[in-house]
Amino acid sequence: QVQLVQSGSELKNPGASVKVSCKASGNTFTTYAINWVRQAPGQGLEWMGWINTNTGNPTYAQGFTGRFVFSLDTSVSTAYLQITSLKAEDTAIYYCARAEVRGEAPIEAPNWFDPWGQGTLVTVSS
């Protein structure tokens, strides 16, 4: 049974950077999609994009390019979300979620999301 365990809450000043981790346990880390989903306080779910754990190729949703970087360390079965130049509006819970990949590059995409990590609250405030 795969589990995704995320790093703990972060409090950051505007302009700083943060790196959230998502560690997979219980099964092989390769050949899956790790998706990132943002949930602002009291709001709904917003898909940020995904990274292919086999190829390391990231796909970013519009609005999550530039300051947002997805990466992997397959040696420790961990995916990362780095956000630079943090703004107050980045305050949110960030979830990772695994999915199987359908299709083949360049036309590949994740399927449904399961399981999810427990979420990491990132607070940006001075």
Partner 1 sequence: AIRMTQSPSSFSASTGDRVTITCRASQGISSYLAWYQQKPGKAPNLLIYTASTLQSGVPSRFSGSGSGTDFTLTISCLQSEDFATYYCQQYYSYPFTFGPGTKVDIK
Q: Which residues bind partner 1 (CB under 8 A)?
A: 35, 37, 44-47, 49, 59, 61-62, 95, 97, 99, 109-119
Q: Which residue shows structure tokens 């790790």?
A: 34
Question: Which of 13/62 has CB closer to partner 1?
Answer: 62
* Contacts of residue 86, Cβ cutoff 8 Å, sequence gap at least 6: 12, 13, 14, 15, 16, 17, 18, 122, 124
Question: Which of 80/113 has CB closer to partner 1?
Answer: 113
Least distance (Å) between residue 16 CB and partner 1: 25
Question: Which helix (H) or strand (E) covers residue 70, if one does?
Answer: strand 68-73
Question: Which of 16/102 has CB closer to partner 1?
Answer: 102
Least distance (Å) between residue 120 CB and partner 1: 10
